[in-house]
Chain A
């Protein structure tokens, strides 16, 4: 245990909150669960070193492919 061990967790939490929609408890909760599930799934399917790539690759693909399709709060800027 180190004093700066929390940074990683805080970042994951920030991702969950933002991606779930700021101000939405359900969204943050759902996204946190999704990230946890993805983490468990990728470490089950792939070697441990690929967990990060699996989880964040999935999130990246999600945002790139469906920028407006993830529940409320996903506004699109005028093109």
Chain B
């Protein structure tokens, strides 16, 4: 098999839309959710169902419908579970992921069960496939610079400070989750429309983890990082499957490469690939001064384990810690 670069470009763009939502959650709200694949699946099966029944195969229409469904589900999940802190939210998120995908899988009228749905009619507005990532890019950039982005970032650093400033933590958190859910579902509709097939089983926790890996490897909270992460984690599997090796081996090799990349990034580049120039410069400056590099402790809030680190810190940062 050989690599089709235009295909990789479109897949990367779709993953960018998907990962952007999670980037808001991990990078701004400093939470971790593992149900992103389920939201992606909801988008994919919204498209497939609407297209198969001849209701609509317009990506704008199906994308909006999918986003509304996922937005409502995210709101319900957020309303119930965001009152719980860190770790417990992950359990709720994990449970949501399993329940949603299994429901879809068992609901054969929608998902086709084991056989999936295939030969989906091709979407009518192909321009949207390019337009949505561009729109997402604009949205995320605007969010990052606007008051909402600052608020979300501030909340990621200290919830009590945001609450003390008179903002509802639940409302800000809820908004981030709903927005992320809507982006994921829109990406799902694009994805199903583009590849023309959908299997419920492919939208598993592994996919959620892969999307999280895109965000973390690229650099949580960075738009450029999300693009880099999405591109990298799209291109590597494609290169592996185009190489002349056994598919099983390629699959395991892919897992191995992702895992090693994650570990290396966590240790050497806690701010992700997007911060590579900055991190390298800082390290070099540290060496030149013959002192130890400035930051040796774990970076605040780059994962679930950091919740108590944040709590121990207990102090308020100014909302916008870094400018991008």
B-contact bits for A41-79, CB 8 A (1 contact / 0 none)? 000000001101100110110011101100000111111
Q: Is the CB of A53 within 8 A of B205?
A: no
CA distance A11 to B206 in the complex (A): 11
Q: Is the CB of B92 within 8 A of A60?
A: yes
Asked if A15 is at the interface of the complex by the 8 Å CB criterion, the answer is yes
Q: C-beta contact mask, B67-104 vs A, less than 8 Å → 1, else 0?
A: 00000000011001111110110111011101100110
Let me know if B253 is at the binding interface, CB within 8 A.
Answer: no
CA of A32 to CA of B227, assembled, Å: 40
B91–A59 CB distance below 8 A: yes
- Give the Cβ gap from A78 to chain B, nearest Cβ, in Å: 5
Q: Which residues of A contact B159 (CB under 8 A)?
A: 77-78
Q: How far is the CB of B253 from chain A (nearest CB, A)?
A: 13
**A40 interface residue, CB < 8 Å from B?**
no
Kindly name the residue among A52, A63, A67, A78 whose own CB sees the greatest number of chain B CB atoms within 10 A.
Answer: A63
Question: Nearest chain-A residue to B87 (Cβ)?
Answer: A18
Shortest Cβ distance from A52 into chain B, in angstroms? 4
Minimum CB distance partner of A15 in chain B = B91
Q: Residues of B within 8 Å of A, CB-based: how many? A: 31
Closest to A79 in B: B170
Interface residue range, chain A = 20 to 34
B91 touches A18 (CB 8 A): yes
Q: From residue A44, how far is it (CB to closest CB) to chain B in Å?
A: 17
- Asked if B163 contacts A63 (CB within 8 A), the reply is no
Contacts of A52 in B (CB 8 A): 98-99, 102
A68 CA to B255 CA in the complex, in Å? 37
Task: Check A63 against B81 for contact (C-beta < 8 Å).
Answer: yes
**Residues A59 and B205 in contact, CB atoms below 8 Å apart:** no
Selected contact of A64 from candidates B92, B106, B160, CB within 8 Å? B92
Residues A79 and B169 in contact, CB atoms below 8 Å apart? yes
Bound together, the chains give a CA A77 to CA B92 distance in angstroms of: 15
- Output the least CB separation between B190 and chain A (Å): 27
Once A60-B92, A63-B92, A64-B92 are accepted as A-B contacts, the answer to whether A53 and B99 lie under 8 Å apart by CB is yes
| Most central of A3, A4, A19, A64 by chain B CB within 10 Å | A64
Q: Are B88 and A74 in contact (CB under 8 A)?
A: yes
Distance between Cα atoms of A65 and B1 in the complex (Å): 50
Q: A68 contacts which chain B residues (CB < 8 A)? A: 83-84
Residue A33 interfacial (CB < 8 Å): no
Name the residue of chain B whose CB is nearest to the CB of A58: B95
Residue of B nearest to A52 (CB): B102
Q: How far is it, in angstroms, between the C-alpha of A19 and the C-alpha of B58 when the chains are bound?
A: 42
Contacts of A56 in B (CB 8 A): 94-95, 98-99, 102
Are B205 and A11 touching (Cβ within 8 A)?
yes
CB <8 Å contact, B91 and A78: no
For B133-169 the 0/1 string (1 means CB < 8 A from A) is 0000000000000000000000000011001000011
Q: Can you identify 30 A-B contacts, CB atoms within 8 angstroms? A: A11-B94, A15-B95, A18-B87, A18-B91, A19-B91, A49-B105, A49-B106, A50-B102, A50-B106, A52-B99, A53-B98, A53-B99, A56-B98, A57-B99, A60-B99, A63-B80, A63-B84, A63-B88, A63-B92, A64-B92, A67-B84, A68-B83, A68-B84, A74-B84, A76-B84, A77-B84, A77-B159, A77-B169, A79-B168, A79-B170
The 4 closest A-B pairs by CB, nearest first: A64-B80, A60-B95, A56-B95, A56-B98
**Which residues does A use to contact B, with CB under 8 Å?**
3-4, 11, 15, 18-19, 22, 49-50, 52-53, 56-57, 59-60, 63-65, 67-68, 74-79
> B residues touching A (Cβ–Cβ < 8 Å)?
76-77, 80-85, 87-88, 90-92, 94-96, 98-99, 102-103, 105-106, 159-160, 163, 168-170, 205, 252, 255
- Beyond A59-B95, A67-B88, A75-B85: 4 further Cβ-contacts under 8 Å? A50-B106, A59-B92, A63-B88, A74-B84
